[in-house]
Amino acid sequence: MFKKILIANRGEIACRIIKTARRMGLATVAVYSDADARAPFVRMADEAVPIGPAPAAQSYLVADKIIAACKATGADAVHPGYGFLSERTSFAEALAAEGIAFVGPPVNAIAAMGDKIESKKLAKAAGVNVVPGFVGEIDDTEHAVRISDEIGYPVMMKASAGGGGKGMRLAYCEKDVREGFEAVKREGLNAFGDDRVFIEKFILNPRHIEIQILGDQHGTILYLNERECSIQRRHQKVVEESPSPFVTPHMRKAMGEQCVALARAVGYYSAGTVELIVSGADPSGESFYFLEMNTRLQVEHPVTEAITGIDLVEQMIRVAAGERLAFAQADIGIDGWAIENRVYAEDPYRGFLPSTGRLVHYQPPVPGWQDDGAGHGRRGVDGVRVDDGVYAGGEVSMFYDPMIAKLITWGPTRDDAADKQVAALDAFTIEGLGHNIDFLSAIMQHPRFRSGALTTGFIAEEYPDGFHGAPATDDVRRSLAAIAAFLATARADRARRVDGQLGDRLDPPGAWSVLIDGQRHAVVLAGDLVTVDGEALDLDLEYTPGDRLIHADLASGPLSVKVEPVRGGFRLTTRGASHLAMVLEARIAPLTRHMLDKVPPDLSRYLICPMPGLLVALHVAPGDAVEAGQPLAVVEAMKMENILRADKSGTVKQVNAAAGDSLAVDAIILEME
408 SS3 class: strand
476 SS3 class: helix
Looking at the chain, how many residues does it have?
673
Q: DSSP assignment, residue 602?
A: -
Q: Please name the helix (run of DSSP H) or strand (run of DSSP E) that holds residue 358, with its range, or none.
A: strand 357-358
170 CA to centre of own chain? 20
With 0-12 / 13-18 / 19 or more C-beta atoms within 10 angstroms meaning exposed / middle / buried, residue 322 is: exposed
- Neighbouring residues of 398: CB distance < 8 A, sequence distance ≥ 6: 354, 356, 612, 613, 637, 638
Q: Please name the helix (run of DSSP H) or strand (run of DSSP E) that holds residue 362, with its range, or none.
A: strand 361-363
CB 459 within 8 A of CB 231: yes
Interior angle at CA 365, CA 361 and CA 368, nearest 5: 90
What is the three-state SS of 478-499?
A: HHHHHHHHHHHHHHHHHHHHHH
Q: DSSP assignment, residue 354?
A: E
Contacts of 414-421 with C-beta under 8 Å, sequence gap 24+, read: 414/241, 414/245, 414/337, 414/339, 414/452, 415/450, 416/336, 416/337, 416/383, 417/241, 417/336, 417/337, 417/338, 417/339, 417/383, 418/339, 418/444, 418/445, 418/449, 418/450, 420/383, 420/384, 421/339, 421/341
Q: Which of 226, 292, 346, 641 is catalytic?
A: 292
Residue (of 386, 451, 389) closest to 418 by Cα position:
451
The one-letter code for the residue type at 50 is P
Rounded to an integer, what distance in angstroms lies between the CA atom of residue 300 and that of residue 114?
A: 19
Residue (of 339, 169, 311, 331) closest to 245 by Cα position:
339
- Neighbouring residues of 100: CB distance < 8 A, sequence distance ≥ 6: 67, 70, 75, 76, 77, 78
Rounded to an integer, what distance in angstroms lies between the CA atom of residue 102 and that of residue 664?
A: 41
Which stretches does DSSP call E strand in 527-639? Answer: 529-532, 535-536, 539-541, 549-554, 557-566, 569-574, 577-585, 606-608, 613-618, 625-626, 631-637
Rounded to an integer, what distance in angstroms lies between the CA atom of residue 612 and that of residue 614?
A: 7
Buried b vs exposed e over 150-167: b needs ≥16 C-beta within 10 Å?
A: ebeeebbbbbbbbbbebb
Rounded to an integer, what distance in angstroms lies between the CA atom of residue 303 and that of residue 237?
A: 14
CB 214 within 8 A of CB 324: no
Rounded to an integer, what distance in angstroms lies between the CA atom of residue 30 and that of residue 44?
A: 8
Residue (of 43, 44, 103, 106) closest to 76 by Cα position:
103
Q: Catalytic: 200?
A: no
Which string of DSSP letters, residue by residue, matches 417-463?
HHHHHHHHHHT-EEESS---HHHHHHHHH-HHHHHT---TTHHHHH-
Residue (of 320, 275, 282) closest to 300 by Cα position:
275
Pairing of strands 155-163, 384-388: unpaired
Rounded to an integer, what distance in angstroms lies between the CA atom of residue 325 and that of residue 309?
A: 14
Residue positions annotated with a catalytic role = 292
